[in-house]
Structure 1
Amino acid sequence: MAKAYWISAYRSISNPEALAAYAKLAGPALTAAGGKFLARNEAAAVKEAGVKQRTVLLEFESVEAALAAYNSPGYQEAIRALGTGSVERDIRIVEGV
């Protein structure tokens, strides 16, 4: 079974305090679900309509594990802490090769 990669690309952050509250809950929830953080920072370089904002990359054992992490009670609590309108982001779960 191929590994899976969770990519969160932030387009804008309008409420840094809500993002901090989310991160405090999301990090432990995702690692408890088997996620391994590979990158978590502002983009070092952007190309082709990229946005120089926060990007997060996690590795999971499978797509199913990544989806289970997203749907877990702990991560859903983190999403509630983030609230609506605090960030604009794109989350993708991609199967490895």
Structure 2
Amino acid sequence: MAKAYWVATYRSINDPAALAEYGKLAGPALQAAGGRFVARGLPAVAYEAGVNERVVLIEFDSAQQAIAAHDGPAYQEALKALGSGAERDVRIVEGL
């Protein structure tokens, strides 16, 4: 079974306090669901149509595990805390 990667890019951060609260809840929730943070922060460089905003990359053992982490109650609580605090693009992609 292929590993899977959760890729979150932030198009804008509207409420840094809401993002901080989200982070307090989301990190532990995703780790408890089997996620391993690979990268988190601003890009070293953004090419093409890339946006110089926050990126988060999390590895999971499978796409099903990543989807279950996202849809689980602990992460859903984190999303409630985030509210409209950030506009993000979140994708789960299987590894090769």
> 2-side partners of 1:53 and 1:44: how far apart?
10
State the partner residue of 1:42: 42
Runs of at least 5 residues in structure 1 that lack an aligned partner in the other structure: none
Question: Which residue in 2 is equivalent to 1:5?
Answer: 5
Percent sequence identity over aligned pairs: 61
Give the distance between the partners of 2:23 and 2:82, measured in 1 at CA. 9
For structure 2, the 5+ residue unaligned runs are none
Structure 2 letter corresponding to 1:93: I
Distance 2:17 2:87 in 1: 14
TM, length-normalised to structure 2: 0.98
- Aligned partner of 2:86 in structure 1 is 87
SS at match of 1:10: strand
2:22 is matched with 22
Deviation at 1:49, TM superposition (A): 0.8
Structure 2 letter corresponding to 1:63:
A
**CA displacement 1:35-90 (0-9 Å, x = unmatched):** 00000111111001100010000000000000000011110000000012x11110
- 1:68 aligned partner: 68
How well do the aligned residues superpose, as a CA RMSD in angstroms? 0.5
SS of the equivalent of 1:48 reads: coil
Alpha-carbon distance, 1:25 to partner: 0.1
Give 1:88's aligned amino acid.
Answer: E
Q: 4+ runs of 1 displaced by more than 3 Å? A: none
In structure 1, the residue matched to 2:52 is 52
- So what's the TM-score if we normalise by structure 1? 0.97
